[in-house]
Structure 1
Amino acid sequence: MRILLLYWGEYSQWRERFMNYLEEQTDVEPMINSIKNDPKFWTAQEKKTRKIDRLARSLLIQGLPNDIYSLIDSNKTAKDLWDTLERQMRGFEYGEQDRKAAILYEYETFKANEGE
């Protein structure tokens, strides 16, 4: 199974698929922990497995097209990358939903002028 590429407007579905992909990996708990929790809260054992964070970050990057990755490439940990990606994608999805709602409202309230 390979990592699916993230497309604009499909973050929620991609996120679920990515987490399902991670659950199939061998070090699933430490890997998900490295994505969801900041390294300063890691236990001594988790700090020893810092390579898992690098692997999780690498897997995240593999699912991103260049235009999305270029927006968040300065993040050094899987957690930072994940959070920034979430903010970017959620913001885009909400903006997209607002545009669709505005268009739908405009369509539903459309009235022809006399003579049209």
Structure 2
Amino acid sequence: MELYMENRENERMILDSIQNGPLVWPTIVEENGTTRKKKYEELSVTRKLQDDCDLKGTNIVLQGLPLDVYAIVNHHKVSKEIWDRC
């Protein structure tokens, strides 16, 4: 799987996501004092790219698993968790 990822565009970001976990979305403190995560549209170009690579990494890992293993880990949304379990 790692060789396949290395052949993809932005391979370093995909591998980093799988080995170290996904982007931690930044938060915004609203005027009324509440805190929320930024929306995708509010992320910088680099962070949007990292989020996209997080999703690609998860899809690559899931697609590379045998069906019996996939059934065990398909509920995980983070590729690092899937990678670590397999």
Name the TM tier (shorter chain): 0.5 to 0.7
Are the structure 2 counterparts of residues 42 and 79 from structure 1 closer, same or farther at C-alpha, using a change threshold of 3 Å? farther
TM-score, scaled to structure 1: 0.50
Report the Cα distance in structure 1 between the residues aligned to 2:69 and 2:54, rounded to whole angstroms.
20
- Whether 2:14 is the aligned partner of 1:31: answer yes
Report the residue type matching 2:11 in the other structure. V
Shift in Å, 1:41: 6.2
State the 4+ residue runs in structure 1 displaced beyond 4 angstroms. Answer: 40-46
In structure 2, C-alpha distance between the alignment counterparts of 1:46 and 1:32, rounded to whole Å: 16
Q: Higher helix proportion, which one?
A: 1
Which one has the largest radius of gyration? 1
In the alignment, structure 1 segments of 5+ residues that lack a partner are 1-17, 86-116
Q: 1:80 to 1:46 in 2, by over 3 A?
A: farther
Aligned pairs for 1:1-116 within 5 A: 18-39=1-22, 47-48=47-48, 49-85=50-86
Q: 1:40 deviation in Å?
A: 5.8
- TM, length-normalised to structure 2: 0.65
Distance 1:40 1:24 in 2: 21
Aligned length: 68
Compared with structure 1, are the counterparts of its residues 32 and 46 closer, same or farther at alpha carbon in structure 2 (3 Å cutoff)? Answer: farther
Identity %: 28
More strand by share: 2
Q: Which runs of 5+ in 2 are unaligned?
A: 27-43
Q: Deviations over 1:36-93 (max 9, x none)?
A: 01236689776432111111111111111211101111211111111111xxxxxxxx
